[in-house]
Amino acid sequence: MANNERNAALPDLVVVGAGLFGLTVAQQAAENGHTVEIIDVRKHIGGNAYSYTDEETGAEIHQYGAHLFHTSNKRVWDYVNRFTEFTDYQHRVYATHDGEVFPMPINLGTINQFFHAHYTPAQAQELIKEQAGELAGTDPENLNDKGIQLIGRPLYEAFIKNYTGKQWQTDPAELPASIIKRLPVRFNYDNHYFKDTWEGLPKDGYTAWMERMIDDPKIHVTLDTDFFDESQPFNKAALVGRVPIVYTGPVDRYFDYSLGDLKWRTVDFKEQRYDEDNHFGCPVMNFVDADVPYTRAIEFKNFNPERSEQQNPDRTVVWEEYSRSAGRDDEPYYPINTSDDQKLYQEYKNLAAQEPQVVFGGRLGTYAYYDMHQVINSALIAYEKQVGPLLHK
């Protein structure tokens, strides 16, 4: 990260937001010889992937919830390996339901444990088909019906319905089916959460990875700076039309909510510390029952067993994760994406198309849910097709 004083002249590019989309575009621009100013309203780079070391336990804390890197995109994998090595971590999740722990995602082990049975894969598939009832063989548009169609009503109501209701603060019948398609269902005993070619965690942490991405004298970073605050020089009124901008904040905020507010889900965390080496025995424990107010608990030490010698064997830290609807002053994590929201976003997208020197990107700028590898891929494409041509005009 450059610490030299900024020139009086404007940089070639201003990037609003130091998350993965903004950092990737900035890195590409600098690599192609352009000067870049990155601003972020937060006090750190990395967006929601930012992490830090907890002094008491030695655990790497993912400040905005568990972040797990996985991809089958070779271009993205080659790109990120320029800046960090990865551990061989493979993600597995467990869920507590009615006082019992089950493997997730739904697999043959989950099915047999739940029904106290020993179904073969073919028998389990036939059971699910029967329990899907009239929804079997259909392709429902809402999450509630899609869940029943995928895994049958009993499993859906046990493991998905209440968890999803807590997570999205929305009736699953009002959510799009695409959300549930992110959760694989397997008729074998494979409980690997992801099926991508490559998976792991950055060996020396997320923040070190992202600092290396922008370790270039052509890149300057200004933190704790609001793009909409006209008392500082890198503000919207002063820059739009004068310099190409990559904007990764909420798209409705850019237009001062002129068409209305897009709905988001935010996450709150409650920290618990225990006088033991390991509390859950896994990195992530889902709590799928309605009477538990949080959706899951994250035990950070378990993401990095290779660091055991640097971790405190007598203390562990766990974060309970609570989901709720976001207001304007909350951190917007995930778009709720009802049909009304999608219609409103299309209207904002039409406005964005009228900003010829502004490229909107990232999950907030495009009102979309992205995994990290998808953000990086979209940023590489955006640089090639949109940002690069603006810089060469």
| Rounded to 5°, angle at Cα 269 from 264 and 274 | 160
Exposure b/e, 350-364, CB count within 10 A at least 16 = b: eebeeeeebbbbbbb
- Please, what's the b/e burial string for 143-181 (b: 16 or more CB within 10 A of its CB; e: otherwise)? bbbbbbbbbbbebbebbbbbbbbbbbebebeebbbebbe
Instruction: Look up tokens 């992530």; give the residue.
Output: 284
Query: What are the tokens at 266?
Result: 């935010």
Place of tokens 């203390």: 315
E strands, the chain, in order: 13-16, 36-39, 51-53, 60-62, 69-71, 93-97, 100-104, 198-200, 219-222, 245-247, 264-274, 284-287, 296-299, 316-325, 334-335, 358-360
For residue 128, what is the DSSP state?
H
Helices (H) and strands (E) in the chain, counts: 14, 16
State the Cα–Cα distance between residues 132 and 270, nearest whole angstrom.
37
- From 53, 47, 102, select the one nearest 303 (Cα to Cα): 53
The residues annotated as belonging to the active site are 182, 186, 265, 296, 321, 369, 371
